[in-house]
Amino acid sequence: MLERPQGPLVDALRANGCKVKYLGESGTLPLAISGGGLKGGDLQMSGQVSSQFVSSILLAAPYAASPLTLTLNEANPTSISYIEMTLQTMAHFGVNVERLALNKFKVPLGGYKCPAEYFVEADASSATYPLAVAAVTGRSVTVRGVGRTSLQGDAGFCRLLEKMGCKVEQTDDSTTVTGPPHGNLQPVRLFFAPPPHTHTFFF
* Residue 86, pLDDT score: 95
Residue 74 has pLDDT above 70, yes or no: yes
Q: Name which of 2-11, 61-70, 173-182 the model is least confident about.
A: 2-11
* Residue 46, pLDDT score: 86
Does residue 42 belong to any structural domain of this protein?
yes
* Residue 190, pLDDT score: 81
Instruction: Report yes or no: 73 and 47 within 8 Å, Cβ to Cβ.
Output: yes
Confidence of residue 76 (pLDDT cuts 50, 70, 90): confident
Pair (97, 133) in one structural domain: no
Give every strand in the sheet of 68-72, ordered side by side.
41-45, 68-72, 104-107, 98-101
Does residue 60 belong to any structural domain of this protein?
yes
Does residue 102 belong to any structural domain of this protein?
yes
Total domain count for the chain?
Answer: 2
* Residue 140, pLDDT score: 97
Q: Round to whole Å and give the CA distance between 39 and 44.
A: 13
Does residue 190 belong to any structural domain of this protein?
no
What range defines the domain where residue 99 resides? 7-107
